[in-house]
Structure 1
Amino acid sequence: MLTARRILILCDAVGATQTISFSQPLADDVAAGRVHLQILAHDPAWVSIAGAQALVDRIRPDILVLSRYTSPGALGLTAAARALGAAVIFHLDDDLLAVPESLGRAKYNYYNQPERVAALRAALNASDLVYASTPALADCLVEHDVTVPITAGDIYCSVQPSTLMEPLPSTGPVIGYMATGGHGADLDLVLPAIEQLLEDMPDLRFETFGTIPPPARLAPFGERVAHFRGEPNYSAFLTRLNELGWWVAIAPLEDTPFNRCKADTKWIEYAFCGIPAVVSDLPVYQKACADGAGALAATSEQWLKALRLLLADQQARHDMLTTARQRLGARYGRDVLSRQVTDIFDLAVALAARQECERS
């Protein structure tokens, strides 16, 4: 009988990143007893060498994954894991070495603390393998002088095609935007089009979902603009997104180096929840939205045209969602991501074994 592979994932805070990247794709392996998975948020006790050693000795992982881990103590954790013969992977889904001010002053200040940046850089270069969510992010990490092997995921977010949610469109037209508070500058790209549509269509509503507030410039439209708080649990978040009944969703992105490293997660989540989407015409979304699986927009005129068409034409919305969901099944299946993660684990173990041989 094969022994379960023991995976320990440590992060600054447990959130959607770890659910999407590890909990979901490894769920079948965990259920079958092939993997023992533990995901923990940072504990200050781990900063000391003794604390790091105690954690690793207690769990005894075969693989340690530091997922978006910018807290102090990473080098002690890495050393303790390596002393047990464990492979070490650093996982990133954003370029946290170059967080821009456009994400908001709080995030900018948090991630750009010199000691945090230095700790992150040291942890990246102390790992056996860096797992980047996209090829663009992998390229950025090379430019940041990350010297250990880097591998990029072919996909980041996945779905179970059999669990796609039925569309629940509201009785009146609604444009929706799901985002965190650091995306105000992105939303500004499409506000002129939304304002125009709200003026032209008296029954149209605009709603935001998450920590992003409604834009102040839309206040003149009163109750036709609304905000819904996010859901910390990822499954509950998807259920709530589906229940909002948006006719069309948007995913604007400023064309910045940071955003070009992102994955097409918003488009996947919208399609999974039964909502056709208009997205920024950037490499992040171009492959996913090809052939009518989503509408691409780069200018205010293009945003206005795409949104107006979808709001006015139920068949166009249906056709776009159908194409999007066909793509989800063909390219973004949970089994695809499961194989990707397993292959990355295998690669990390092989690299760690090779490096141990070279050291001995």
Structure 2
Amino acid sequence: DATLRSLAALQPPYAPREIHVLADAAPEPLPGLPQLRHVAATTLAAQAQAINALTATGSCSWLLCVEAGDVFTPAGLASTLLTVIDAPDLRAICTDELMRDDEGNLSALLRPDFNLDLLLSMPAGMARHWLFRREAFLDVGGFDPAFADAAEFNLLLRLIDAGGIEGFGHVHEPLLITPPQQIASKPSEQQSILCHLRHRGYEEARIEPTLPGCYRIHYGHRATPGVSIIIPTKNQFRLLLRCIDTLIEKTAYKNYEVLIVDNGSTEEDACTWLDGLEAMGNPQLRVIRYPQPFNYSAMNNLAAQHARGEYLVLLNNDTAILREDWLDAMLNHAQRPEVGAVGAKLLYPDGKIQHAGVVLGLRGPAEHPFIGESPDAPGYMYRLQVDQDYSAVTGACLMVRKSLYEEVGGLDEEVFKVSYNDVDLCLKIRTAGYLVVWTPHAVLLHEGSVSQAREDKAVMEKKALRFLGEQDAFYDKWLPVAAHDPAYNDNLTLSGPAFQVETNPPVAWNPLTWRPLPVAVAFAADQAGCGHYRIIQPAAAMRDFGLATADVCHRYLSPVEMERASPDTLVLQRQMTEDQIKLQKRVARFNKCFKVAELDDYLPQVPRKSAHHGTLPKDILKTMRKSLTLVDRFVVSTQGLAEMMQGMHPDIRVVENHLPLHWWADVKGERQTGRKPRVGWSGAAGHRGDLELIADVVEALSDEVEWVFFGMCPDKLKPFVHEIVQPVAIGDYPGRLASLNLDLAIAPLEDNTFNQCKSNLRLLEYGACGFPVVCSDVRPYQCDLPVTRVKPRFKEWTEAIRMHVNDLDAAAKAGDALREAIHRDWMLDEQYARFWLSQWMPD
């Protein structure tokens, strides 16, 4: 019933054309499901035969099998259907899933893209709820009734047999909510694997169940090819000796040679040992000298030229062999023709995980998942315990066919001398059409970064610069790949621990392969007034009116996050420090989208009496000029600000502040609620100089009105103020301002360069509450709003205030007129949101 109800809720074009229920008894008819049909089928084999017959005679293009009780998610089905419409080359598509336990708790099964070795190792996690293209399904004979309890898995393997591993898609969106999966080993799965392996020519292959539902495949290779193990080293005699001793003592596979690449060791014990080893002339244990500056890539490439083996193993000197079958386990995969590189499970000395594959884009260009976890832990989807394909594995222990190593150019000794050379190598191998396999059955110890702890600060700083350079080089070459690692899932975090669901994505999730709306990413400099009025609320209006996908960030996105977002435009608010410019330059280097700078105040001349004076960089004009060279457009809030910034950028646009509808449309204060007329002011620490303009006015009128100050109140004015209202969160500000129930609001403003560039925002806020306003007669307030403007003279201020409070009915009408003008011309409605978006987007 739950399954059918979830289907009944779907509207065309997302509703399925045919629904067939295979069961003993027919389900109760449901309104909205005229396409529902019942097929009597009691056994799994009978159901497989029935599905084959229905598919052969039906008219649908795609087939999906679900169990009773599985619930469709509307977003998942919509995303899946939009994918299949535009996927003529796909033969089958998998999706993600949610699982609900008996207590209603949900967990996510977020799969990687098609992963041959994970499919074979753990069918339960990878081989259910696939959509099959009808033609592909029928071409291989449909479901095999003999494998009915593993029908989808068996079918997938036959599709691979027929057409290789191409044509399998993945939608990164949960399609179904299912009960928790009961994972168990099945003879039908093992037999399906054996049939598949026989088809691929592995006549002596055998299957070893390791955990429930998990299998280790022994491919049964007969050949025993030579292996050249390359170990770069410098000094660190204790580590090197342990590596060599355990290698010789604990390696069961004997057809190997060891090539030690010495990078100019200077410590006596290491030099003596290496010299003695070299003098022995042992062809299985050779020393190669590399006296140049440390270059991990060049050292390995040099050794590869001297290697005699058919396969190479890149091995760090701070490793140690733990299990004697490690080389056999790696050769088990390396000898497969479709495999290009193989990585191992590496453990820290305390036994915790150091390496179990590499995830692209994780906390940088690439990072190890599962660091610090127990080696016996299952890992996400049992991925710590089963063979699988990754995009990359670490070069601390990596096996590769020598001919392929040479074909792809080995390690890049020019660009990646120390870091990311292993990841680059693996990606070159994948680009050449080969798989990169990680196996948990080759287990070694790896210290990791042992030498760095002993180096001085200057050396470490130089290394840090080199590391950043190699990071940037990696992004230059592989950023599109790193943003969507096929061995990971786009719903999993890139910023936190690997294989955890991203619960706070920096930008909105878009599972579609196309874009129905423009995409903007905007960086808000704060979450206070400027951030909200200039970035957060305009972006929200663009989203609410369906104009754009506009995401707001409060930190710079990493290159990988920016690549994932791939915005049409990037808006950067208030960029004024050298650190911000460095980040801007990185963004500009890796993302070619349209870039907009945004500014709300003339920061080079903050008033001396402002609390913000002295907090900004002294050379702010210089840094702002640098920042503006990195953007395509400069958007400011007022014409005055645009004039002051003239010459700073060739394309300056003015977008004036407007009030967000959901904050200001429905607020309105009450009138005449005090014993005396209530006259108020709202402001913060930055407005101290403005208040000093009217300090004597406040004192002089304190017996005639109830002064109400919202936010800041200088100590010298407190004796004359009737009510002081504490600041509130900005989302509560409109309602709290209206609740002051002012009969008159005042807006004093010093006449200085900074204020001449400001906007009329305070008038808009007062007016939205229905408060009449007396304000300074300065440029920001010299607009067409019906307010009373006065010069900075005591007499003008007192006369204007008394004029209003002595005729409260007239004051109320003035407030209504101001509110009407603001609602008509100054709200952030759809029309203005559309204009704002046009100024963020390229022409």
Which shifted more, 2-11 or 71-80? 71-80
Supply the AA of the counterpart residue of 2:716. R
Alignment-derived partner of residue 683 in structure 2: 179
Alignment-derived partner of residue 14 in structure 1: 527
Alignment of 1:248-259 (within 5 A): 248-259=744-755
For 1:246 and 1:288, the matched residues in 2 are separated by: 22
**Contact 1:91/1:132 (CA < 8 Å) preserved in 2?**
yes
Alignment-derived partner of residue 832 in structure 2: 337
For 1:135 and 1:339, the matched residues in 2 are separated by: 20
For 1:80 and 1:278, the matched residues in 2 are separated by: 46
**Contact 1:99/1:108 (CA < 8 Å) preserved in 2?**
yes
Check 1:303–1:82 CA distance in 2 against 1; reply closer, same or farther (3 A cut).
farther
Supply the AA of the counterpart residue of 2:710. F
- Determine whether 1:280 maps to 2:776: yes
For 2:522 and 2:718, the matched residues in 1 are separated by: 43
Which shifted more, 307-316 or 81-90? 81-90
Q: Which of 564, 569, 573 is the equivalent residue of 1:67?
A: 573
- Determine whether 1:98 maps to 2:605: yes
- Determine whether 1:156 maps to 2:641: no
**Contact 2:667/2:734 (CA < 8 Å) preserved in 1?**
no
Q: Which of 227, 240, 248 is the equivalent residue of 2:724?
A: 227
Supply the AA of the counterpart residue of 1:328. I
Q: Which of 97, 111, 125 is the equivalent residue of 2:616?
A: 111
- Determine whether 1:41 maps to 2:554: yes
Alignment-derived partner of residue 452 in structure 2: none
Supply the AA of the counterpart residue of 1:272. A
Q: CA-to-partner distance for each residue in 1:276-313, whole Å, 9 max, x for gaps?
A: 11110112112143xxx211111211110111111121
SS of alignment partner, residue 674 of structure 2: coil
**Contact 1:247/1:276 (CA < 8 Å) preserved in 2?**
yes
Alignment-derived partner of residue 77 in structure 1: 584
Who wins on radius of gyration, i.e. which is larger? 2
For 2:525 and 2:543, the matched residues in 1 are separated by: 23
**Contact 1:10/1:69 (CA < 8 Å) preserved in 2?**
no
State the Cα distance separating 1:33 from its structure 2 match: 4.6
- Determine whether 1:167 maps to 2:167: no
- Determine whether 1:301 maps to 2:795: yes
Alignment-derived partner of residue 124 in structure 1: 628
For 2:536 and 2:804, the matched residues in 1 are separated by: 35
SS of alignment partner, residue 131 of structure 1: strand
Check 1:55–1:109 CA distance in 2 against 1; reply closer, same or farther (3 A cut).
farther
Supply the AA of the counterpart residue of 1:344. Q
**Contact 1:14/1:39 (CA < 8 Å) preserved in 2?**
no
Check 1:141–1:95 CA distance in 2 against 1; reply closer, same or farther (3 A cut).
same
Alignment-derived partner of residue 640 in structure 2: 136
Q: How many corresponding residue pairs?
A: 324
Supply the AA of the counterpart residue of 2:808. Q
State the Cα distance separating 1:186 from its structure 2 match: 0.6
Check 1:338–1:219 CA distance in 2 against 1; reply closer, same or farther (3 A cut).
closer
Check 1:11–1:110 CA distance in 2 against 1; reply closer, same or farther (3 A cut).
farther
Check 1:31–1:326 CA distance in 2 against 1; reply closer, same or farther (3 A cut).
closer
Which shifted more, 168-177 or 91-100? 168-177
Alignment-derived partner of residue 217 in structure 1: 716
State the Cα distance separating 1:97 from its structure 2 match: 2.6
Q: CA-to-partner distance for each residue in 1:59-104, whole Å, 9 max, x for gaps?
A: 3222111112334233533552564331110010101133232213
Q: Which of 193, 197, 217 is the equivalent residue of 2:697?
A: 193
Alignment of 1:22-33 (within 5 A): 22-31=535-544, 33=546
Supply the AA of the counterpart residue of 1:112. P
Supply the AA of the counterpart residue of 1:227. I
Check 1:40–1:25 CA distance in 2 against 1; reply closer, same or farther (3 A cut).
closer
Alignment-derived partner of residue 356 in structure 1: none
**Contact 1:89/1:130 (CA < 8 Å) preserved in 2?**
yes
Supply the AA of the counterpart residue of 1:174. R
For 2:603 and 2:839, the matched residues in 1 are separated by: 21
Q: CA-to-partner distance for each residue in 1:195-216, whole Å, 9 max, x for gaps?
A: 11114x2xx3212212x2x233
Q: TM-score, normalised by structure 2?
A: 0.37
Supply the AA of the counterpart residue of 2:838. D
Which shifted more, 253-262 or 190-199? 190-199
User: Highest relative contact order (Cα 8 Å, sep 6+), 1 or 2?
Assistant: 1
Q: TM-score, normalised by structure 1?
A: 0.82
Measured on the aligned residues, the alpha-carbon RMSD in Å equals: 2.4
Pick the structure with more strand per residue.
2
Q: Which of 705, 727, 739 is the equivalent residue of 1:243?
A: 739
**Contact 1:125/1:148 (CA < 8 Å) preserved in 2?**
no
**Contact 1:52/1:73 (CA < 8 Å) preserved in 2?**
no
Q: CA-to-partner distance for each residue in 1:199-243, whole Å, 9 max, x for gaps?
A: 4x2xx3212212x2x23333444xx4332222223x310000011
SS of alignment partner, residue 834 of structure 2: helix
For 2:650 and 2:539, the matched residues in 1 are separated by: 25
Alignment-derived partner of residue 317 in structure 1: 811
For 2:561 and 2:584, the matched residues in 1 are separated by: 8
State the Cα distance separating 1:18 from its structure 2 match: 3.1
Check 1:121–1:100 CA distance in 2 against 1; reply closer, same or farther (3 A cut).
farther
**Contact 1:218/1:225 (CA < 8 Å) preserved in 2?**
no
Q: CA-to-partner distance for each residue in 1:153-181, whole Å, 9 max, x for gaps?
A: 2x312354992423223323222111111
For 1:311 and 1:246, the matched residues in 2 are separated by: 11
For 1:2 and 1:127, the matched residues in 2 are separated by: 24
Check 1:228–1:27 CA distance in 2 against 1; reply closer, same or farther (3 A cut).
same
Check 1:54–1:101 CA distance in 2 against 1; reply closer, same or farther (3 A cut).
farther
Check 1:126–1:64 CA distance in 2 against 1; reply closer, same or farther (3 A cut).
same
Supply the AA of the counterpart residue of 1:295. T
Supply the AA of the counterpart residue of 2:563. D
**Contact 2:518/2:568 (CA < 8 Å) preserved in 1?**
yes
For 1:239 and 1:326, the matched residues in 2 are separated by: 18
State the Cα distance separating 1:2 from its structure 2 match: 5.1
Which shifted more, 92-101 or 265-274? 92-101
SS of alignment partner, residue 702 of structure 2: helix
Which shifted more, 11-20 or 188-197? 11-20
For 1:16 and 1:78, the matched residues in 2 are separated by: 27
**Contact 2:625/2:648 (CA < 8 Å) preserved in 1?**
yes
**Contact 2:543/2:550 (CA < 8 Å) preserved in 1?**
yes
Check 1:26–1:66 CA distance in 2 against 1; reply closer, same or farther (3 A cut).
closer
SS of alignment partner, residue 316 of structure 1: helix
Supply the AA of the counterpart residue of 2:674. T
Runs ≥4 residues deviating over 6 A: none
For 1:276 and 1:15, the matched residues in 2 are separated by: 25
